[in-house]
A = this chain, B = another copy of it.
Amino acid sequence: MTPSDSPGGGPGRELYELVAELFPICRSITGDGVRQTLGIIGRRVGLDVHEVPTGTQVLDWTVPREWNLRDAWVKDPTGRRVIDFHASNLHVVSYSVPVRATVPLAELKRHLFTLPEHPDWVPYRTSYYAEGWGFCASQRLADSLPDGEYEVCVDSTLADGHLTWGEYLVRGRSEEEVLVSCHLCHPSLANDNLSGITVATRLAELLGQGAPRRYSYRFLFIPGTIGSITWLALHQQQVGRIKHGLVLACVGDAGSLTYKRSRRGNADIDRAITHVLARSGRAHRVVEFEPYGYDERQFCSPGFDLPVGSLSRTPYAQYPEYHTSADDLDFVRPESLEDTLEVCWETLGLLEANRSYLNLRPMGEPQLGRRGLYGSIGGRSDAEQRQMAMLWILNQSDGHHSLLDIAERSNLPFALIAETATTLEHAGLLAASG
């Protein structure tokens, strides 16, 4: 994970194209849309696709029936399709049960969701755990519907089947894992969360290349909530391997980055990404954990309390386009996707390189000059960063401070600290201790 691995030069365009390819698919928490999405991701990285049958008990939950939708529409009194699933999969409330009926406008409206404050946008609605059906439409359309009888059709199946998710493990030199998780249960919404899927996929590709890293990396492409619940239920004995984790969601919009800390608040992932963001000069925000948002809610539930934070650009529900048809392909930007990828990559690099060393000459300063580590003409010399890095590392490497601790205390860039530690290790002055 040297700078030469950096994906910085890679075009955000490539990331954007994966978003665009996945955009039209009708996804929900179960069903063929999920399988189709995993198929596309699987052409890039060697995914394991897992399925768990309906009715399986997973922690406090039960795997629901599988939902698939073939068609759905509403015809006005003249027989014209005024709402049509084929125009946008957002038009159907996710998990709508099959229905075929003729209803007066008033009854139709009880099943119709709109956004009065954004009259041209179609909302996104779901009804996973309460049987029902519904349509979503623009307020403008709803207002234009004349009185009369409407034919409605939801040609769906809600039946025993499976919950599906994808998993990709890049084995490292140790069994300690870094978890990267994203949800893939949303239909045609670009930022939430095709952006997260795309950045995770690219990270997986990059990490799958080259020699094994220090950590193993586990990527989860899972339906929100029930997916992480299911995965946690099946892996309760192994979660202790997860040393660091990141949930990626809403990472493609034009806003600046927002990192939400893990429940622990000061885990290494929290400190690593905070250091990277602060050092990068990017506008950004680091916010405290709250038990709301994406699957970090599950990873950070008190029984697991994993060191998993969450990276977004404009966070969850804080932009008007959130969960509407306006979260479309115009809403995500290639350069934002690439920027997010860079920060993730640098953060993972920091975690790979972060370790503790022991100063092997802790009594006084070792003589750097005779080891060629120091300018030999003394006197007036401005303190240079590299020299300060050497002195800080030697001073703090008492077995209680990691390189990240030292970077934070010295206010020097982690990369410089890590490189300099390697130099000092080669000079026989440091030994890795953790």
Contacts and interface: CB of A to CB of B under 8 A. Distances in A.
Contact of A383 (B93, B229, B236, B292): B292
Interface in A297-344: 297-298, 300-305, 317, 322-324
A100 interface: no
B301 A395 contact: yes
A363 B291 contact: no
Contacts of A354: none
Interface stretch (A152-160, A196-204, A271-279, A373-381): A373-381
Contacts of A129: 367, 369-370, 376
Given A291-B391, A369-B129, A298 B380 contact: no
A120 to B, nearest CB: 16
A380 B125 contact: yes
A317 B382 contact: yes
B364 A323 contact: no
Nearest to A288: B409
B301 A364 contact: yes
Contact of A364 (B127, B304, B394, B395): B304
A359 interface: yes
A99 interface: no
A363 B236 contact: yes
A126 B303 contact: no
A362 B130 contact: no
A394 B300 CA distance: 11
A324 B380 contact: yes
A228 B129 CA distance: 62
A60 B395 contact: no
Contacts of A304: 363-364
Contacts of A291: 365, 388, 391-392, 394-395
A221 B128 CA distance: 62
9 contacts: A124-B379, A132-B377, A233-B363, A291-B388, A292-B391, A302-B397, A303-B359, A322-B380, A323-B380
Given A301-B395, A303-B363, 15 more contacts: A59-B363, A60-B367, A61-B364, A123-B380, A126-B378, A129-B367, A130-B369, A132-B377, A291-B388, A291-B391, A301-B365, A302-B395, A302-B396, A303-B359, A303-B364
